[in-house]
Every structure is written in C-alpha cells, then in structure tokens.
A and B are shown apart, each in its own frame.
Chain A
Amino acid sequence: MSELGTMVFGLVLILAAVGGAALVTWFERRLLGIWQDRYGPNRLGPFGVLQVAADMIKLLTKHDWVPPFSDKMVFIFAPTAIVVAMLLGFTVVPFGPDLYVIDLNIGLLFFLSMTSLAVYSVLLAGLASNNKYALLGGLRSAAQMVSYEVFMGLSLMGVVMLSGSFSLLDIVEAQRDQWFCIPQFLGLYVFLIAGVAESHRLPFDLPEAEHELTAGFHTEYGGMKFAMFMLGEYLGLILISCMIVTLFFGGWLGPWLPPLLWFCIKVFIVICFFILLRAAIPRPRYDQLMSLGWKYMLPLALFNLVVTAVIALAMQGQG
C-alpha cells in the first residue's frame, strides 16, 4: 500500500476499532441477557443499538472530576495509556492479504509488548487514586498481568516455531493447509486463558472485582476517564480476539467469501465465546488465579513448547 493509503487505513482502523468497542458493550449486554433468560437493553433504536449512543452521551457530559487527594497528573494520564497501547496493538493485525497498517517482522512481539504496556493504565490508576480499593486493584493487576504475560508469550512460541516467523502475515500464510488450532490446541488453550487475564475480563477481572473492591482500580474514576477505561477494556477484548483468529484460526483464510468478511466472522465468534466465558464462569480467588497461572498454565505452555519443538525438528529431518 502507498503511504497515504496506509494512513487512511490507519484512521479507518482507529474509528472502526473504537466504534466496534462501543458496539461490543451493547452486544455483550444483549448476549448476556439472552443467556440469563432476559432481554438486555432493547429500548433505544433497533434492538437497542442506540443504547451505545445514550451511554456515550451520558459518560461524556458527566462532571469530569479529579479527586483533590489524588496524584493529579498521573490520575489524568493513566486512562489514556490503555487506549493508546491497545490501539497501537491493532497496527500489526492483518485483516486481509493486504489490509494492514504495518507488517513488522517482529509483529507478534510488538503485540505482546503493547499488551504489557496496557498494565500501566491499571497500575497507575490504582497508585494515583490514593484509595485503598484502587490500590488493592492495582496490586492485583500488577501481579496478574506480569505472571500471565509470561506464559502468554510462551504459548505463542509453538505457533512461531511452526510458521518460522514472528510476522503475523507469514503466520497466517503458514495456516493455508491447516489452522494452528489443531496442532497447537494446548497453545490455544493457554493463550485463551492468558488473554482473558490480560484484558482483565471476567472471570479474571480481579483488579475490578465489584463484590470485593467496589470497582477496584477505577473506583475514583467517572465520566470521560472512566469511559477511557471501558474503551480500553473492550479494545483489549477485540484485540485479543483478533490475535486468536490470526494465530490459531487462519486469520482471513477461508473459501468463497472475501477475506475481510472471513476475518470479521471469526472474530465475532471468538468475541461471543469470551462473552460466554463471562456468563458462565465465576471469578476465582486471587491465590487460585496465581496458582492456576504458575502451577498449571506455565508447565502446560512449556510442555507444549518442548513437544512442538521436537515434532518440528523431526519433520524438518524428514523433509
């Protein structure tokens, strides 16, 4: 693509991602409603879609309050970090054979580093709020993110071995014959759980945990800044879904339909699955989360890594 084309596409991508995140908030509530035998927001507009607009107007017109006891600069800076990091993460996602902002040869690492930067938003919000609940939420999120990042990266190394590249385009191309969800199902499983923990969504929403910490790290936030946090969370959800599709379900690959449509359908299904997780599974305790991470997920990811390496080497020896 030309430089101008890339810029236009980047702009469209930002708008689409933010709009998509707003739409997912509505979609999630409707879907949760269906699974809990109720309707969800269905009043405003067709199927209640305009609920998004109403929520947005409400959040944007609310009093933008900065608590006097907070660390003001950091307090204002914190919510922007997660949105910026997540939007940057979208740049490496290939939506089609030539629909991407940039094809980095370290695309996968770039994605991992962006999700790892998103933790600062939560952490600094917890620190700057000068509030017990926020601090506890921040502490939890720091420990959760740092531990789950470890095997999030490790679980993806099997994919990298099979495709022989960090570039997401090459990874998708390598799945022409077979999607990586079959040979890498352990990697998929670990990445899925790590992805839920990284985007701190239910069931792993311990940094927020309404029932224990009122609202965790964003207890003191309201209006625009809270909207930024929500936007970041839903952008994270979409980004993780995009990555799962790209890495394990063949990205844009598929018969008959245009590539972008295939990609969107797959991402949609993965998002539905994430919402199902939220509807079905209760939140684990904090120590349970940690022991799940270090005692089960890390060995599983390492096992997957070793087995994949052995098989890849054996295949290389034959071929």
Chain B
Amino acid sequence: MFKSLTSQLQTMWTILQHTFTKAETVQYPEEMPYLAPRYRGRIVLTNDPDGDERCVACNLCAVACPVDCIALQQGVRDDGRWYPQFFRINFSRCIMCGMCEEACPTNAIQLTPDFEMCEYDRQSMVYEKEHLQIKGTGKYHDYNFYRVAGLAIAGKDKGEAQNESKPIDIKDLLQ
C-alpha cells in the first residue's frame, strides 16, 4: 500500500516536471519539417543538360512500379530518338517507393522532396506529361543518355559517344 502510494506520487511528480519540457509537436503548415534532398516525394520528368527530354520511353519504370501507377506510350522522332507520346502517373496510387527512379536508365524520372498533394477531385491526382516535365536536370546535372549510349541518332553516329571506340568493321578482315 505505502510502496504503491509513493510510486504513484513519484509518477505524478515526474509528469508535473513535464510542464517545463518543450512540446515535441512540429506546427506543420507554419513550421515546415526539414526534408532531405533525396526525400522521396512527388515524381518529375527531367531534361538533359542540352534541354531535350531525357525519357526514352523504355517502359522500365512502368514495369518496376509495384502499384502500376505509371502508363506511357513510346514514339520515335524523325532523328531516331525515342520519346514518350504520353506519360501518365496516377498519384492517388503512387506509394512514393522510388523503384521507377532506380529502374530508369536515363535518370529521367526522379523523386522530389515535395509531398503536399491534396485535391478535392480524384481525377486531378492523375498527372500528364506536361504536369510532370520540368525544365531542369534534377539531381544529375551532366548526364545525357544519348551522349553515352551507342545508339545512332541524327548528328551522332555509332562510335561517336563518350568513351566509345569506333565500331569494328567486321568485313575488313576478309579483304
């Protein structure tokens, strides 16, 4: 009886001391929490340093996506570059897991530290390509897929990419 009484008085004293401790709460809309640059939030599509879009519509992001929220259609430009005819992300499904970013060979799809996506209409959560595309290069400033890839496009033939040797003409052995 006495022991439990003192223990309870002790508890009350401890709680009373908490009058002078600071609240742990972050007053969110006024006081923004710190988000790391690599925080996984809203998804964007980035441009390469030359200002052209990075996405080559390889569909790897759509395959990697565990909730199947990415839909896109591949198209080929006159110069041989691939591009997405449309690129659609349903953010009401997206779980911000970052698998698409991992899968992307061209660093086109990237996650940003922005999480404030609230809409009254569910349809407004479906972002089209023009909503996703940004002007900048995102996290990777110097990377340009077509400059390192072996694919021949207009203005760059095979073997002209960075760190790439000329293609071996297999027929010259026969001469």
Residues in chain A within 8 A of chain B (CB atoms): 33-39, 276-277, 279-281, 296
Q: Which residue of A lies closest to B8 (CB)?
A: A281
Which residues from chain B contact A276 at a C-beta distance below 8 Å?
A: 12, 15-16
Among A37, A38, A280, A296: residue with most chain B CB under 10 A: A280
Partner of B12, one of A39, A280, A296: A280
Residues in chain B within 8 A of chain A (CB atoms): 1, 8, 11-12, 14-16, 18-19, 21-25, 27
Q: Knowing A276-B15, A280-B15 touch, does A37 contact B8 (C-beta < 8 A)?
A: no
- Whether B22 lies near A37 (C-beta < 8 A) is yes
Q: Which residue of A lies closest to B15 (CB)?
A: A280
Which residues from chain B contact A35 at a C-beta distance below 8 Å?
A: 15-16, 18-19
Partner of A281, one of B12, B21, B23: B12
Which residues from chain A contact B1 at a C-beta distance below 8 Å?
A: 296
Which residues from chain A contact B23 at a C-beta distance below 8 Å?
A: 33-34, 37-39
Which residues from chain A contact B25 at a C-beta distance below 8 Å?
A: 38-39
Expressed in whole angstroms, the Cα–Cα distance for A34 and B14 within the complex equals 13
Expressed in whole angstroms, the Cα–Cα distance for A38 and B26 within the complex equals 9
Expressed in whole angstroms, the Cα–Cα distance for A37 and B23 within the complex equals 4
The 7 closest A-B pairs by CB, nearest first: A280-B15, A280-B12, A38-B25, A280-B11, A37-B24, A35-B18, A38-B23
Which residues from chain B contact A37 at a C-beta distance below 8 Å?
A: 18, 21-24
Q: Which residue of B lies closest to A32 (CB)?
A: B15
29 pairs from A and B in contact (CB 8 Å cutoff): A33-B23, A34-B18, A34-B19, A34-B23, A35-B15, A35-B16, A35-B18, A35-B19, A36-B18, A37-B18, A37-B21, A37-B22, A37-B23, A37-B24, A38-B24, A38-B25, A39-B23, A39-B27, A276-B12, A276-B15, A276-B16, A277-B12, A279-B15, A280-B8, A280-B12, A280-B15, A281-B8, A281-B11, A281-B12
Which residues from chain A contact B21 at a C-beta distance below 8 Å?
A: 37
Which residues from chain B contact A38 at a C-beta distance below 8 Å?
A: 23-25
Which residues from chain B contact A39 at a C-beta distance below 8 Å?
A: 23, 25, 27
Q: Which residue of A lies closest to B24 (CB)?
A: A37
Expressed in whole angstroms, the Cα–Cα distance for A219 and B75 within the complex equals 61
Q: Which residue of B lies closest to A276 (CB)?
A: B12
Which residues from chain A contact B8 at a C-beta distance below 8 Å?
A: 280-281
Expressed in whole angstroms, the Cα–Cα distance for A296 and B2 within the complex equals 11
Q: Which residue of B lies closest to A37 (CB)?
A: B24
CB distance from B88 to the nearest CB of A (A): 37
Which residues from chain B contact A296 at a C-beta distance below 8 Å?
A: 1
Which residues from chain B contact A36 at a C-beta distance below 8 Å?
A: 18
Q: Which residue of A lies closest to B16 (CB)?
A: A276
Expressed in whole angstroms, the Cα–Cα distance for A234 and B41 within the complex equals 45
Which residues from chain B contact A279 at a C-beta distance below 8 Å?
A: 15
CB distance from B109 to the nearest CB of A (A): 38
Expressed in whole angstroms, the Cα–Cα distance for A44 and B11 within the complex equals 32
Which residues from chain B contact A280 at a C-beta distance below 8 Å?
A: 8, 11-12, 14-15
Expressed in whole angstroms, the Cα–Cα distance for A33 and B27 within the complex equals 14
Expressed in whole angstroms, the Cα–Cα distance for A33 and B15 within the complex equals 11
Q: Which residue of A lies closest to B22 (CB)?
A: A37
CB distance from A127 to the nearest CB of B (A): 34
Q: Which residue of A lies closest to B1 (CB)?
A: A296
Expressed in whole angstroms, the Cα–Cα distance for A304 and B93 within the complex equals 68
Expressed in whole angstroms, the Cα–Cα distance for A277 and B11 within the complex equals 10
Q: Which residue of A lies closest to B18 (CB)?
A: A35
Expressed in whole angstroms, the Cα–Cα distance for A37 and B27 within the complex equals 13
Q: Which residue of B lies closest to A282 (CB)?
A: B11
Which residues from chain A contact B22 at a C-beta distance below 8 Å?
A: 37
Which residues from chain A contact B16 at a C-beta distance below 8 Å?
A: 35, 276
Expressed in whole angstroms, the Cα–Cα distance for A164 and B15 within the complex equals 39
